[in-house]
Structure 1
Amino acid sequence: MSKFGVIVTGPAGAGKTTFCTALIQHLRTVRRSCYYVNLDPAADDFAYEPDIDIKDLISLEDVMEELSLGPNGGLIYCFEHLLENMDFLTDPLDPVTDEYLIIFDMPGQIELYTHVPILPALVKQLMHGSLNIRMCATYLLEATFVVDRPKFFAGTLSAMSAMMMLEMPHLNILTKMDLIKGKVPRRELKRFLDPDVGLLDDDPDRALPEEAKAAGLDPTETTNVMSGASYHKLNKAVGRLIDDFSMVSFLQLDAQDEESVGAVLSYIDESIQYHEAQEPKEPVEEPLDDMEGY
């Protein structure tokens, strides 16, 4: 019997735990079972108590204090310890049935998804080990990034890197859409949902070299580096790389909007083929009381 899950990734501040909370609330509203797993060893504030919490095994605070490690090194140590003690996850997840959606809430250090093979190793054990979980990954990026186009393409590159590292069904999501309402025209927003490298040429905040010279800006000054021609060429190279792979597109999410959360859930279900595995339920016949009416 297969199990079904979604792993929620993305940089710090992208709204991962908020998304998990909204997803759990929506699942409860539609009377669907879910199982919440917190894998952030530094998180301590939850709207819904996790069914499994990595801090019951190891916490980042203890690791940093006892081993004199920094946050990133401590986080890597926590996950290495988890991989050595996978029964912490497999034992409680083993009896979970295919009616549940297992939600894995991950930490915000993107090194785990883009630079080191720890998370891919964890995903491999969850998907291809004894649990046999059909999973997809979601990579969350804050919608306010679209206001700063180079920043948006840097975030998009991180999303693409995570997609290639994890090698699993993958959804990219722009979160906090309510924060940019009225700030970005709808037609322009569509260009961000399917990233268009031409956005960098159309950036109204970018000063062209001629304009910079006319304004008397010294390109060697630190404050002017971010508007220089070399910086623009770097961003264009990043944009072309993303365009060449043609892998990244985004869904929109407003965690306060029930329909928005439901729409994202439908994409998750499609990615993991949740509904195809559900057996049709037999209709329940109501008993007739003393054959009343006959």
Structure 2
Amino acid sequence: MPHYAQLVMGPAGSGKSTYCSTMAEHFKVIKRNCLVVNLDPAAEYFDYPVALDIRELIQLDDVMEDEDLQYGPNGGLIFCMEYFLKNMEWLRESLFDDAEEDSYFMFDCPGQIELYTHLPVMKTLVEHFSNWDVRVCGVFLIDSQFFGDPSKFISGMLTSLSCMINLEITHLSVMTKVDKLSKNSKKELRKFLDPELQNLILAEMCDTYHDKKYRKLTEALCQLIDDYSMVRFVMFDRSSENSINVLLQHIDTALQFDEDQPVKVKDYEYDDEDDRCDVNERD
């Protein structure tokens, strides 16, 4: 049977580590095994158990302190991820070789968007997963504050769309930090779950110089997203068990997780031996 994996992506500060922590706790409650892997060489703190840490292989601080390389934070992180790709056997041997069949993983990824949109780093990682019989679902997180401003919302949708097209994997777009919003703000967010951008965004635009100047470009971008209908959002409220369950159901469906699970047959308990005999006779 295949393994299953969530590739948790999104801009810096979108809540990836918090998402992994919440999901790991939820898996524990519903009695499902899940291993969380840190793929961010710049990470410093985790509030979830880490099954494997890329910092055991390479750390951003070490790269930036190297006098020969002289990299800054972004260049250093890209160097770390390219070094990681050259050592994929380390990941396979450390994680997959001894893993049980149909194991479930969550990969907490770095927040640099260029890793997903135009650099081959994450795409190459996904190709390795495919060769190792690992089904992957991309979970792209966007802070719910993006949905309060039309230009930020379009930017977030296009980034998610670019990531989806580049990686070519099953993909979910998730709005995070909903638990920090008021009830009225949560209700207002629902119009972004399945939006008609032409009506939603253009109605929010003002008569400012900037909005007038870029109105045609905005209309074209909205039309592009509406025509393909490829980006739809799922709300993630970590304070709501129902919200977590709904999101996990979407991911399980994308991974075809439930379809591969063995059928569970419940053993009936009989009050006495006569009841057991009656059942056998009817059979």
TM range (shorter): 0.7 to 0.9
- Give 1:152's aligned residue: 153
- Give 1:215's aligned residue: none
Match of 2:85 among 73, 83, 86: 83
- Give 2:54's aligned residue: 54
- Give 2:238's aligned residue: 255
CA deviation after TM superposition for structure 1 residue 282, in Å: 5.9
Number of residue pairs the alignment of both structures matches: 265
Gaps of 5+ in 2: 270-283
- Give 1:233's aligned residue: 216
CA, structure 1 residues 50+233, in 2 after alignment: closer, same or farther (shift >3 Å)? Answer: same
| 1:45 aligned counterpart, secondary structure | coil
- Give 2:39's aligned residue: 39
Identity value in percent: 41
**1:49-93 per-position Cα deviation (integer Å, ceiling 9, x unaligned):** 311100000011111221211222211111111111111110122
CA, structure 1 residues 271+185, in 2 after alignment: closer, same or farther (shift >3 Å)? Answer: closer
Q: Is the 8 A contact 1:7 1:137 kept in 2?
A: yes
Q: Is the 8 A contact 2:10 2:111 kept in 1?
A: yes
| 2:7 aligned counterpart, secondary structure | strand
CA, structure 1 residues 95+284, in 2 after alignment: closer, same or farther (shift >3 Å)? Answer: farther
- TM-score w.r.t. the length of structure 2 is 0.87
| 1:104 aligned counterpart, secondary structure | strand
Q: Distance in 2 between matches of 1:137 and 1:252?
A: 15
Q: Is the 8 A contact 1:34 1:102 kept in 2?
A: yes
1:133 maps to a residue whose letter is: V
Alignment of 1:120-131 (within 5 A): 120-127=123-130, 129=131, 131=132
| 1:51 aligned counterpart, secondary structure | strand
- Give 1:100's aligned residue: 103
1:16 maps to a residue whose letter is: K
CA deviation after TM superposition for structure 1 residue 94, in Å: 2.0
Q: Distance in 1 between matches of 2:186 and 2:173?
A: 21
Q: Is the 8 A contact 2:236 2:244 kept in 1?
A: yes
Q: Is the 8 A contact 1:138 1:172 kept in 2?
A: yes
Determine if the alignment matches structure 1 residue 178 to structure 2 residue 173: no
Q: Distance in 1 between matches of 2:221 and 2:71?
A: 33
Q: Distance in 2 between matches of 1:5 and 1:142?
A: 22
Q: Is the 8 A contact 1:9 1:140 kept in 2?
A: yes
- Give 1:222's aligned residue: none
Tell me whether 69-78 or 157-166 shows the greater mean CA deviation. 69-78
Alignment of 1:1-294 (within 5 A): 1-66=1-66, 67-92=69-94, 93-127=96-130, 129=131, 131-184=132-185, 186=187, 188-197=188-197, 198-203=199-204, 206-208=205-207, 212=208, 219=209, 227-281=210-264
2:99 maps to a residue whose letter is: V
Gaps of 5+ in 1: 213-218, 220-226, 287-294
Q: Is the 8 A contact 1:144 1:179 kept in 2?
A: no
| 2:214 aligned counterpart, secondary structure | helix
**1:214-262 per-position Cα deviation (integer Å, ceiling 9, x unaligned):** xxxxx5xxxxxxx441133333332222222220000010122222112
Q: Distance in 2 between matches of 1:19 and 1:249?
A: 19
- TM-score w.r.t. the length of structure 1 is 0.84
- Give 1:292's aligned residue: none
CA, structure 1 residues 185+103, in 2 after alignment: closer, same or farther (shift >3 Å)? Answer: closer
| 1:202 aligned counterpart, secondary structure | helix
- Give 2:281's aligned residue: none
Tell me whether 249-258 or 192-201 shows the greater mean CA deviation. 192-201
| 1:97 aligned counterpart, secondary structure | coil
